[in-house]
Amino acid sequence: SAVISQKPSRDICQRGTSLTIQCQVDSQVTMMFWYRQQPGQSLTLIATANQGSEATYESGFVIDKFPISRPNLTFSTLTVSNMSPEDSSIYLCSVRPSSGGEQYFGPGTRLTVT
């Protein structure tokens, strides 16, 4: 399995601002993903972070709101732009090692927007 870290672990932000979340993996991985977990809810895939190309977004999520970067095979960032209270959630990154179908998750970033 991969060891995944996320920064920050939590943050409280004002509406209208933006927050960038970092995800670092201890080994090179082909696939990285970003998920959102709204309070008391399950996980929803935001996008697949593609190395060297634009991210692939799921229905209901757009690049202007959730820009993603993937500069190399061990690092990705997710920005939550122009935040509103509805963006209060836990944001998790995950990786899929090339050898398997399972995904491993980071500890998450708990975001509160006031």
Partner 1 sequence: AQSVTQPDIHITVSEGASLELRCNYSYGATPYLFWYVQSPGQGLQLLLKYFSGDTLVQGIKGFEAEFKRSQSSFNLRKPSVHWSDAAEYFCAVGAAAGNKLTFGGGTRVLVKP
Which positions lie near partner 1, rule CB under 8 A?
1, 4, 31, 33, 41-45, 48, 58, 92, 94, 96, 100-108
Smallest Cα–Cα separation from 83: which of 9, 11, 7?
11
SS3 call for 1: coil
Closer CB to partner 1, 44 or 82, in the complex = 44
Tell me how far, at minimum, the Cβ of 101 lies from partner 1, in Å: 5
Tell me how far, at minimum, the Cβ of 16 lies from partner 1, in Å: 28
Tell me how far, at minimum, the Cβ of 109 lies from partner 1, in Å: 10
Smallest Cα–Cα separation from 96: which of 21, 2, 15, 14?
2
Closer CB to partner 1, 5 or 18, in the complex = 5
User: Is 75 within 8 Å of 24 (Cβ atoms)?
Assistant: yes
Question: What sign results for the dihedral spanned by CA atoms 84, 38, 62, 76?
Answer: positive
Closer CB to partner 1, 22 or 81, in the complex = 22
